[in-house]
Amino acid sequence: MDIMTTYNWGIIGTGWIAGEMAQTLTDEKGEIYGVTTRRTEELEQFAKQYPVKHQFASVADLLADEAVDIVYVATPHHLHAKLIRQALEAGKHVVSEKAITINSDELTSLAALARQKNLILMEAMTVLHMPIWQYLKKSVDDGLVGNVKMIQINFGSHKAYDVTNRFFNPELAGGALLDIGGYALSVARLFMKSQPNQLLTTVNYFETGVDEESVIVLKNKEGEMASITLTMQAKQPKRALISGDKGYIEVYDYPRGDKAVFVETATGQKTEIAKGSSAKALAYEVADVKRFIDNQDLDGALAYTIDVMNLMTAVRKEWGFYYPSEKE
């Protein structure tokens, strides 16, 4: 599908997720307009691997190019807010990898700037763009499971033990919540009628001080509840369960899910649902940001993102956990 004939993308960062986006843009458009990163050798290698039209020596150079329409931020979390602000001030639409910022104050400020500049700001949160989740959201709103009662979500990875890795580095805003928690909280918020107003949580810390594992329980004014378990040193299935008084929906590998099973309570009948393709996860993000830009729909671009960041900030406040940059 030819969805990117209008906008030129500039990529900041050359890590594995930047490479995946570069491949997506290559598949959809045939080239990447521009890329920049701090290390010259990594930039040159990236440009050999993907059809990069321009290699920029600095972020400032990339942002100064008037032909760049959309900036994709694919750096460690702690750099996101600064780079997003620079891109918005340069008049660029922005897609940022998750977590879009490290706290709600940063996101509130950036959302206001985007609105002031009439620009789109979007988090690259796959679950908000996958066709299966859009279909399931409508189906649940239409009464598929009846009244939503309980949502259960797991995400557990087993990161290699390396205290210098960004996942475990507080200076780089590491930890399970910002790295994988956004997926789980996005699914939970998607199926709750309103923002949760009650929160219970507990946490265990890694030796570097970041959150290694946690349990989060949410409840909103309608009485809908969600329980979320996150781990970085204990593998769990990526499983989401949305349960109501008429049945439940189960999705495995939900961050890029394309299949679900609905089980009807009264009959026990199972119905398999398939929508979209996990392999096209980033292509759906690319298509959505184009739609948001074309429609000047900032509210749509940030739908649920602000709520989820508010929840993540509230969770860390309950823990009493703050990153070094937040203490300055």
pLDDT tens profile 191-227: 999 999 999 999 999 999 999 999 999 999 999 999 9
Give this prediction's pTM. Answer: 0.95
Q: How confident is the model at residue 165, as a pLDDT?
A: 85
Within 10 angstroms of residue 164's Cβ, the number of other Cβ atoms is 8
Q: How confident is the model at residue 2, as a pLDDT?
A: 44
Sorted by where each begins, the domain ranges of the chain are 9-125, 128-282+308-327
Residue range 30-54: mean pLDDT, rounded? 95
Residue range 44-57: mean pLDDT, rounded? 97
- Cα–Cα distance measured from residue 110 to residue 5, given in angstroms and rounded to the nearest whole number: 27
Which CATH number, 3.40.50.720, 2.20.25.90, 3.40.640.10, 3.90.180.10, labels domain 9-125?
Answer: 3.40.50.720
Assign a CATH topology to domain 128-282+308-327: Dihydrodipicolinate Reductase; domain 2 (3.30.360)
- Cα–Cα distance measured from residue 35 to residue 21, given in angstroms and rounded to the nearest whole number: 12
pLDDT tens profile 277-304: 999 999 999 999 999 999 999 999 999 9
Cβ-proximal residues to 164 (8 Å cutoff; 6+ apart), any chain: none
pLDDT tens profile 73-84: 999 999 999 999
Confidence of residue 164 (pLDDT cuts 50, 70, 90): confident
